[in-house]
Amino acid sequence: MVSSPDAARRDNVILVHWHDLGRHLRCYGADGVESPVLDDLAAVGIRFADAHATAPLCSPARGSLFTGRYPHGNGLVGLAHHGFEYFPDVQTLPALLGGAGYRSALFGMQHESADPGRLGFDSVDVSDSRCDYVVDRSQDWLRRHAHDDRPFFLTAGFFETHRPYPADEYKPADTSTIAVPGFLPDTEDVRDDLAGLHGSITKADSAVGRLLDTVAELGLDDSTWIVFVTDHGLAFPRAKSTLYAEGTGIALIMRPPSRLGITPTVYDDLFSGVDLTPTLLDLVGVDIPDTVDGDSHAPALVGTESTAVRTEVFTEKTYHDAFDPIRAVRTKDFSYIENYAARPALLLPLDIADSLSARSLDRQEVQQDRSRVELYDLRSDPHERNNLADDPSYAHVRDELARALADWRERTHDDLPDEAAGTATAEAFMDAFHAKAAQVEAEEEALPSRRPLGARRELAGDLTSGER
């Protein structure tokens, strides 16, 4: 543990999290994005260059961020609004901080439970997760509690930058200014799609600026950790819902309290979503439970240690719109993926399947059979296009990473259902979701993330690896 101050002297934490963005910000190299507030935050703080979600979709990824446990360890292996929930014994970050004397509040987006009251916050307002409302409520709460005799943990969850990107809410960017990421085809449809995303980024970035202005106005800069994080990769084809870097790579920026005098830096070591909870607990001097799967990076961040915390990160997918079991291990140099069921090469989430960008995909490439095993050399192939799993010159790498993945699955008790059971579970949850959505009155229509889009899908195939 970095330190163990009395509760009254512990630092505050403000955690801002966005939807479906990955690392698509200018400070991460996304040319054409207007995100000046977050760029400045990265310049004066700690920018994590190689952080990864544990899963490439909302609830499982967020569940790991807020519990320090892998999805299969905390129960949140699929989407909360489809019916998945934490196991009863799971402790969340706000609950752990609350036990150490923190006052906590959640405003806006959460994606971990159908009942946000179960998440461990003292106060919750999830009535609207648009950034303007969230910031307004967060500002009001800070003005009431900033100088209480208790430290605080404030979570501000933005719906932005989830699809859709309506032009009446987010002014689209000029398509001529957009640099299309290398994993996407450079077409007019993709540029139009990205233009909408860029508009939502700019609006949400401005909202973060207003929140930071209030932090400064209240004199909290010297006693507050500012943390910005995205949940998983970009909501575009070959990103979200895949275990490629574009699906699991996340933006993570931390600005330390000014009184600590920590030099701004780029933190290039691997970081997993399960590491966020233990790292934050350690930074504010709160004991880390033994049940946490992740590791604390706090000593490295405050300069007391220089040894890399991780040599690899593990990622997983079990359920999204369908049962789709995949596991992966990633190092600085290689990505190794095991696909346990027969599926198309790209099983697009329904919102992405309905997107402008999906029109530009090579249908034959999307629908071809997915490889059982994938191996990519990230040094020469950062977009993970050239599968080397059958290349004899990489056999030793494949074998080493396969062993590492198998050991992790055994160590963390990662047991997968077979094809029939997994598909039945997915279908039951989706049927319940569609039935509930059909009962929603038009004037009470939920946010787009809660609305079914596209057609139902049918899958067939045999599971190639199950229980361990």
The number of beta carbons lying within 10 Å of the beta carbon of residue 455 is 9
Q: What is the pTM of this model?
A: 0.92
C-alpha of 96 from chain center: 21
Q: What are the structural domains of the chain?
A: 11-301 (3.40.720.10), 313-450 (3.30.1120.10)
- Looking at residue 305, what is its pLDDT? 74
What mean pLDDT do residues 399-419 have? 97
Q: How confident is the model at residue 349 (pLDDT cuts 50, 70, 90)?
A: confident
- Looking at residue 454, what is its pLDDT? 37
For 132, the 3-state DSSP assignment is helix
pLDDT exceeds 50 at position 12: yes
Using CB atoms within 10 Å of the CB of residue 270, give its burial: 0 to 12 exposed, 13 to 18 middle, 19+ buried: buried
Using CB atoms within 10 Å of the CB of residue 238, give its burial: 0 to 12 exposed, 13 to 18 middle, 19+ buried: buried
pLDDT tens figures, 423-463: 999 888 888 877 877 775 554 444 434 333 333 333 333 33
pLDDT tens figures, 109-120: 999 998 999 999
Contact 320, 287 (CB under 8 A): no
Q: What is the DSSP letter of 447?
A: P
Measuring CA to CA, which residue among 295, 273, 277 is closest to residue 286? 277
- Looking at residue 1, what is its pLDDT? 55
pLDDT exceeds 50 at position 417: yes
Pairing of strands 123-125, 313-319: unpaired
- Where b means 16+ CB within 10 Å and e means fewer, 47-62 reads bbbbbbbbbbbbbbbb
Which stretches does DSSP call E strand in 378-436?
A: none
- Looking at residue 60, what is its pLDDT? 97
